[in-house]
């Protein structure tokens, strides 16, 4: 059974005005689809025996080169879509809010460090809120790299490849990051990820 492109968890226009339907048409419908198609082709060509969607993390942990890059990007994008929702943004609440304050001093401290990580990623990549050894941490990865490969558990990510924001923000990555944090983050999804670790 081949890997399939997951549906977006919202309508393509639902994230406007922060992310346009045109961006999602290209980002999800073309870029993410290409990663899925590439994984299927690489697996078939190499006759690796991966048959179910449940094998995706196994592929990521056991592969390198083109197969790793495409499989990791399938995972990264599938996770990224869930990190956003219409009417998102704001601040975390309850246990997650307490953990954010403990780790970063305040929500503003988190926001500053997360923005610095996203802005500081040279070229293509991702910024992440993760759990490592039981503590919250902000990290960044280049290209397709992801926390799973480093023994970390992802709670939140922002895609800072240019195709994630160039149609809407051109070269103004900072404005995209501000829009993501201020109007898009699905803190319920992040909190659920965090609760699953407790």
Asked if residues 137 and 117 have their Cβ atoms less than 8 Å apart, the reply is: no
Boundaries of every domain in the chain: 21-82, 94-195
Check for a shared fold between 21-82 and 94-195.
Answer: no
Tell me how far CA of residue 6 lies from CA of 38, 81, 123, 188, in angstroms: 15, 10, 26, 20
How high is the pLDDT of residue 22? Answer: 98
Q: What is the pLDDT of residue 51?
A: 58
**Class at the top of the CATH hierarchy for domain 94-195:** alpha beta
Looking at domain 21-82, which of 1.10.287.990, 3.40.50.300, 3.40.720.10, 3.30.1490.100 is its CATH number?
Answer: 1.10.287.990
The closest of 12, 7, 11, 6 to 26, measured between CA atoms, is 12
pLDDT at 54: 58
**Regions in the chain scoring below 70 on pLDDT:** 1, 47-54
Q: Exposed, middle or buried, 187 (CB in 10 Å: 0-12/13-18/19+)? A: buried
Rg over alpha carbons for the chain, rounded to the nearest Å, is 17
Backbone torsion region of residue 143, taken as left when φ is above 0, otherwise alpha when ψ lies between -120 and 50, otherwise beta: left
Nearest residue to 35 (alpha-carbon basis) of 124, 156, 141, 144: 144
pLDDT digits (tens, 9 = 90+) for 96-128: 999 999 999 999 999 999 999 999 999 999 999
φ and ψ of 155, to 5 deg: -110, -35
Residue 83 φ then ψ, to 5°: -75, -5
Count of residues making up the chain: 198
- The Cα–Cα gap between 96 and 168 comes to 31
Predicted local distance difference test score (pLDDT) of residue 45: 80
CA dist., res. 126 & res. 128, Å (int): 7
Sheet holding 153-159, edge to edge: 135-142, 125-132, 153-159
According to the model, what pLDDT value does residue 2 have? 85
Q: How far apart are CA 12 and CA 85, in angstroms?
A: 11
The model carries a pTM of: 0.96
């Amino acid at each position: 059974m081949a890997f399939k492109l997951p549906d977006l968890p919202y309508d393509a226009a639902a994230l406007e005005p922060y992310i346009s339907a045109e961006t999602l048409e290209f980002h999800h419908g073309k870029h993410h689809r290409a990663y899925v198609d590439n994984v299927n082709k690489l697996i078939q060509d190499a006759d690796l025996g991966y048959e179910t969607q449940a094998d995706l993390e196994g592929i990521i942990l056991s592969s390198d080169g083109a197969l790793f890059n495409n499989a990791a990007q399938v995972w990264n994008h599938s996770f990224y879509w869930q990190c956003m929702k219409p009417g998102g943004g704001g601040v975390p609440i309850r246990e997650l809010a307490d953990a954010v304050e403990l780790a970063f001093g305040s929500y503003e401290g988190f926001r500053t460090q997360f923005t610095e990580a996203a802005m500081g990623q040279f070229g293509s990549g991702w910024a992440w809120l993760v759990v490592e050894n039981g503590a919250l941490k902000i990290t960044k990865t280049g290209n397709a790299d992801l926390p799973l490969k480093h023994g970390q558990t992802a709670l939140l990510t922002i895609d800072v490849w240019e195709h994630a924001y160039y149609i809407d923000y051109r070269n103004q990555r900072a404005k995209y990051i501000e829009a993501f944090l201020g109007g898009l983050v699905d803190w319920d999804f992040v909190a659920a990820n965090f609760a699953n670790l407790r």
